[in-house]
Each structure stands twice: as C-alpha cells, then as structure tokens.
Amino acid sequence: MDAEQLNSDIGRKIRDLRKQNGLTQQELADRAELTKGFISQLERGQVSPSVVTLFDLIECLGTTPADFFPGRDQEPIVFAEKDSFEKIDDEGNITRWLVPSAQSNQMEPLWVQIQPHSTLPLDEPHNGEEFGYVLSGRIFLYRDDQRFEVKAGESFYYEADRSHRIENPGNRPARLLWVSTPPSF
C-alpha cells in the first residue's frame, strides 16, 4: 500500500469514527488540540498525521490502535493440507499437526495413522483433556490398566490425568483425528 492510499484509509476511518461518535470536525479538533482545518485535510487524505497525533485522535475517538488497524495480523482460520506438518516415527506411524503453531492455542488437533500391531508412546498424566475420533480401523485405548476398544465411527474423550496410550491391534492402519488440550505434542 502506498502513502497516498494509507493517508486516504486513515482519513476515512477517522471520519467514520468521528461520525459514529456524533462529533463535528470542530469538536474532534478541540478534544485533540488540533485545528478544524487539519481534521478536514486529514479526513480527505491530504495530510499525514504524526504517530503521536494519530494515537491521540484514536484515543479521543474512544478506540485503540489495535482496533483502529484490524486485520493486519489476523490469525488464519482455514488451513490447507500444505500448512500441516508431518512426522513419521521409526515404526511408520504418522502424526500430522493440522494447525500450524497450535502449541500457542488451547487445543491441538492432529491426524494420526498407527501402523498394524503398533503402539504409540505412553503419555504420562498431565493437565488437560483428550478427544479422538477413529476414522478407519480400530484401536485400543489404555488408561492406566483399563483397555477400551474404539472402532471406526466411534470417539473417545477423557481427562488426561492418568497414564494413557493408543495401540493398533489390527492388520491394517488405523487413522484417527485426535484433539488434546492443552497442546502436548
């Protein structure tokens, strides 16, 4: 974006906020200790305010710089396959992180493929919860000494406050969607 377009965008936002607040150009100028002429030129994109002046105007209009300049650093909402990260262990089990940088979020969604007769490493007790949905195959879910069979189309959900692990007892790969909170992988 060039300087002219930036000045025009800033001026338009200042004008829109001024009108939303029911202020005249003179009233905004008085609040910000500026002239009405400067406000008029600013709203038409003819002048570029200093950072200090812009922040003063933003404050006078009852907003914050973060709200005034939204969308510049918005987090993505939709992720493509190319955005994922994949790790294959020595047994050929695949873990695919579906959301980049999910460690900074509250949930961590994973796509997991467990090879036949393979077991994922034991997960020690920790704070949080885990959810899984078996997409294909079947798995054994172990929580301490308890074993649960989970088949394709079934899901599981548990507090992660006990040792837990997942095993594929079958003769074909098992695939599941696994969401943990907080992120632990």
Q: Do 64 and 90 fall within a single domain? A: no
Q: Do 162 and 91 fall within a single domain? A: yes
Q: Do 40 and 112 fall within a single domain? A: no
User: From the DSSP assignment, how many helices (H) and strands (E) are in the chain?
Assistant: 5, 10
pLDDT of residue 71: 61
Q: Do 63 and 85 fall within a single domain? A: no
Pairing between β-strand 94-97 and β-strand 85-88 as defined by DSSP bridges: antiparallel
Q: Do 166 and 88 fall within a single domain? A: yes
Can you list the residues of the chain whose pLDDT is less than 50?
72
Asked if residue 145 belongs to a domain, the reply is yes
Q: Which domain holds residue 97?
A: 81-181
Return all residues near 96 (Cβ < 8 A) that are at least 6 apart: 84, 85, 86, 87, 110, 111, 112
pLDDT of residue 100: 82
Tally of domains in the chain: 2
Final residue of a structural domain among 12, 44, 68 = 68
CATH, residue 112: 2.60.120.10
Asked if residue 29 belongs to a domain, the reply is yes
97 forms bridges with which residues in the sheet?
Answer: 85, 110
Q: Do 38 and 125 fall within a single domain? A: no
pLDDT of residue 149: 98
Q: Do 93 and 177 fall within a single domain? A: yes
CA–CA gap between residue 132 and residue 105 (Å, rounded)? 18
Q: Do 140 and 87 fall within a single domain? A: yes
pTM attached to this predicted model: 0.60
Asked if residue 39 belongs to a domain, the reply is yes
pLDDT of residue 2: 73
Q: Do 51 and 111 fall within a single domain? A: no
pLDDT of residue 146: 96
Neighbours of 44 (CB within 10 A): 13
Q: Do 87 and 64 fall within a single domain? A: no
